[in-house]
């Protein structure tokens, strides 16, 4: 029952797709009828019609998809948070410097300063999280 309601819902949302599928099947049956009775012209017309109907069905599918994604794209853009490019660049440089240190390569003083600053920021953030967790008290079940 769940599958039927989903199919009916899709048919109502996109009525040209089932219509195109039906037209494609009719054109294919027309071509098969022509092949069965050895009517080459009818078979050719049926196959050409099938290709055209199939193309129109695909166009309908793409059109519905573009129309639906246009609305969804606007919603998605409004929900996106901005990218902090400076932070990403700093983290990439830090990772590169750490990799160089791990491989035993020489690191520039600027990179060492960057690494020290990043470590300090991480330690401060960890300390603030720990401080917050200390002040949070659990309420016993009986008092809830």
Please write the tens of the pLDDT for every residue from 18-70. 999 999 999 999 999 999 999 999 999 999 999 999 999 999 999 988 888 77
101 closest CA partner among 90, 120, 114, 89: 114
Task: Say whether 112 sits in a helix, a strand or coil.
Answer: helix
51's CB contacts (< 8 A; 6+ apart) are: none
Lowest pLDDT segment from 43-52, 89-98, 127-136: 127-136
CB burial of 72-100 (b: ≥16 within 10 Å; e: otherwise) equals eeeeeeeeeeeeeeeeeeeeeebeebeee
Q: Which residue has the tokens 């048919």?
A: 11
Q: Torsions phi, psi of 34, nearest 5?
A: -65, -40
Mean pLDDT of 114-131: 80
Q: Indicate whether 138 pLDDT > 60.
A: no
Q: Indicate whether 72 pLDDT > 70.
A: no
């Amino acid at each position: 029952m769940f599958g039927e309601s989903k199919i009916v819902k899709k048919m109502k949302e996109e009525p040209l797709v089932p219509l195109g599928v039906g037209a494609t099947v009719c054109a294919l049956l027309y071509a098969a009828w022509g092949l069965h009775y050895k009517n080459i012209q009818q078979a050719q017309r049926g196959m050409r019609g099938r290709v055209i109907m199939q193309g129109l069905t695909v166009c309908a599918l793409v059109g519905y998809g573009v129309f639906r994604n246009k609305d969804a794209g606007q919603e998605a853009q409004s929900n996106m948070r901005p990218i902090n490019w400076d932070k990403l660049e700093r983290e990439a440089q830090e990772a590169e410097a750490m990799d160089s240190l791990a491989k035993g390569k020489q690191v520039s003083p600027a990179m060492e300063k960057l690494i020290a600053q990043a470590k300090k920021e991480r330690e401060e953030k960890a300390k603030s999280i720990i401080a917050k967790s200390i002040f949070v008290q659990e309420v016993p079940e009986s008092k809830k």
